[in-house]
Amino acid sequence: IGDTEEMQKAIAMLDEVKESIINAYEIKTGQSRAKISHLMDGETW
């Protein structure tokens, strides 16, 4: 599984991936970043 440092790196990588996905959906849908992020957090996308 890894230690705290490895988990922090994984969290940072996942945050970057989420931001990339939000960028793509923002461009395609015109929805706000906040709304897209909320939908992703709820796994409703």
Give whole-number Cα distances, 9 to 3, 17, 21, 23, 25, in Å: 10, 12, 19, 21, 25
Inform me whether the pLDDT recorded for 42 exceeds 80: yes
Q: Say what the pTM is.
A: 0.80
d(CA 19, CA 25): 10
Question: Average per-residue pLDDT in the chain?
Answer: 94
Inform me whether the pLDDT recorded for 43 exceeds 90: no
Q: Tell me how long the chain is.
A: 45
First to last CA, the chain: 28
